A and B are shown apart, each in its own frame.
Chain A
Amino acid sequence: MASQPSAGVRSTLQRVGVVAGLTFREAWRRKVFLAALVMSVGFLVLYSLGLYYAGREVVVNTNGGGLGDAANALMRRGIAAQMLNYGLTPTSLIVSLTAVFATVGTLSGEIDTGVLHGVLARPIRRGELVAGKFLGLGAMLVVYDVVLVGAVSVLAHVLVGSPISEPVPALALFALEPLVLAALAILGSTRLPTLANGVLCTAAYGIASVGGLIEQLGGLIKNATMSNIGIVVSLLLPADAIHRKAASLLLPGGLLSIEGAVAAAGGGVPPQPSAAMVIWTLVYIVGAVVLAAWSFKRREL
């Protein structure tokens, strides 16, 4: 028989749930999400137009010629996969920046205004408040990320026939990317002013992306030093690594034209993050939130 949670645990879960519920509602009403939604619609419209016209060109240019039907079909699949990949990169940028901007002031802003004074005088532990804030914002970011990545994938699949390999695990991993940044931002929010935290998190995201690029290039040109630099950066902030891992699940292997071209020319293959990176990402998120709770507990208000 499963044991029932104690009254203390139930109370903790209830308080975390109350804060998470309010935070989710607040996130929905915030202008940062509204702006992100408006821009996302614009992005999807533009992406659809690009796919539509590019798709027509691909069909025209890969029909007939010296290649056989099978080779033409393979080329079309590769180009379609690349076009989905082109859509996922700006999606990552939009979702990641939304995660940063939605989260950077979640504690520091309420400390500055004094909103938290009344709340923390209630019987709620600071760790419970941090957990509730993270869960509320995280839930909103996951919904946003899944909808946007899902929309990009469906558009690419419908308009140019992009192959999609493992959509459910891929979407689950894509959702971890904004959670990594949200966890980092909420940790910064316990100590840093909102603006400084925003600059730091945005810069960290940029550094992680560059680190990922270095790692991929290192794999392509078989340079171990570059690969190792990229891996270290990924360990420090696994946002880009988890995005690449998710993309590798969504897109069938070997279909990206650049990979094929480089491999055919005797080069290496860009490394995909391992399953261990997925575990590290989960540990990273939980660790950052726990660290945020510890840091916030020691913060004087």
Chain B
Amino acid sequence: MTETSAAIATTGLTKYYGRKLGCSQISLTVPRGSVFGFLGPNGAGKSTFVKIMVGLIAPTAGEAHLLGRPLDDFAVRARIGLLPENFRYQDWLTPLELLDFHGRLTGLERSEVAVRAPRVLERVGLGSESGKIRSFSKGMQQRLGLACALLAEPDLLFLDEPTSALDPIGRHDVREILVQERERGATVFLNSHLLSEVESICDQVAVIDQGKLIESGRLADLLSGPCEVEITLAVPLPESAAAEIAAVGGIVREDVAGRLVVGLPAEDAIPALVARLAGAGASIMGVTRRRRTLEALFLEAVEEAHHG
């Protein structure tokens, strides 16, 4: 296997807990150096997938490779960082003691951990915290969990709801860290409910529902395609405008009180539409592209999966 192989590659990954389905036939490829968003409603199977990836549970069927190595390759875990959904630590330790424990388990020398630990704590905003972990707020504990995950400078980071306990400042900080990690060359597998967060930093996404993968691909591709444009008019449209709209493949969705909403087959039809309307005598005051959001994509995908 070369280092150019995918960060994560799974084929038909399936997990049953007894007779209960955890996830089914998940075939997924996560390119190296990407920030990958893994979305799904509660109980969809997201955490099951992450647990299989980090060796906490074994798959019932299917194959998976991490960084080009099979899941049961013990050594690959030294190159992985995990922030679990339920982040709990030995709360009688200080942050430095906890990082020393995790660093040495990963195979780092004590002297190396001593250099890295203060730096990584500073990075997650806990540089000045020296008390016992039990005195930390939930948000601080989540930051500490991120520090644990980052300590060994892993090639692959699994973050399960990494901002669930953080305030808006904390969420912003984490987003910045994830961008920095991508710039470092690490792959980030982000399991999150916060669609705006995923949309702002992820290159690729996958949507899982009832244990099955229902959508996956590059975020830009998934959000492209049909779009809507809202045009503000000073006066009502002239009658000839209808033909101009139809000529670019547009469909009028709304035309009320100087606000015209047109559905277009693609984003690049917007300039032609505006030019044609202006040519037909429409007095255009403003044009706003209505983007397809990740939230809309997510809701559509889940609804389609539920109702066929």
Contact = CB atoms under 8 A, between A and B. Distances in A.
7 contacts: A18-B101, A22-B90, A113-B86, A118-B89, A122-B106, A125-B74, A301-B56
Contact of A301 (B57, B75, B158): B57
B212 to A, nearest CB: 21
B107 interface: yes
Contacts of A19: 105
Interface of A: 11, 14-15, 18-19, 22, 26, 29, 113-115, 117-125, 300-301
Nearest to B81: A121
A34 to B, nearest CB: 13
A120 B107 contact: no
A122 B100 CA distance: 13
B254 to A, nearest CB: 50
B104 A114 contact: no
Interface size class of B (residues with CB under 8 A): 20 to 34
Contacts of A123: 74-75, 77-78, 105-107
Given A118-B145, A120-B56, A301 B105 contact: no
Interface of B: 17, 51, 54-58, 74-75, 77-78, 80, 82, 84, 86-90, 92, 101-102, 104-107, 145, 148, 158
A118 B87 contact: yes
A122 B79 CA distance: 9
Given A19-B105, A26-B90, A118-B89, 11 more contacts: A14-B104, A15-B105, A114-B84, A114-B87, A117-B56, A118-B87, A121-B80, A122-B77, A122-B106, A125-B74, A300-B17
Contacts of B56: 117, 120-121, 300-301
A121 B102 CA distance: 10
B77 A115 contact: no
Contacts, number: 68
A11 B102 CA distance: 14
Contacts of B145: 118
Most buried by B among A11, A19, A122, A301: A122
Max chain A CB contacts within 10 Å: which of B57, B88, B158? B88
Interface of B is mostly: mixed
Contacts of B92: 26, 29
A22 B104 CA distance: 11
Nearest to A132: B105
B84 A117 contact: yes
A117 B74 contact: no
A118 B82 contact: yes
Contacts of B82: 117-118, 121
Given A121-B56, A121-B82, A301-B51, A114 B88 contact: yes
Given A18-B105, A123-B106, A113 B54 contact: no
B88 A115 contact: yes
A258 B77 CA distance: 61
Most buried by A among B55, B58, B80: B55
A114 B54 CA distance: 14
B101 A22 contact: yes
Contacts of B107: 11, 123
Contacts of B74: 123, 125
B104 A121 contact: no
A118 B57 CA distance: 13
Contacts of A14: 104
B88 A122 contact: no
A300 B90 CA distance: 21
Residue from A19, A121, A125 having most chain B Cβ neighbours under 10 A: A121
A271 B188 CA distance: 66
A175 to B, nearest CB: 26
Contacts of A124: 105
A119 B184 CA distance: 25
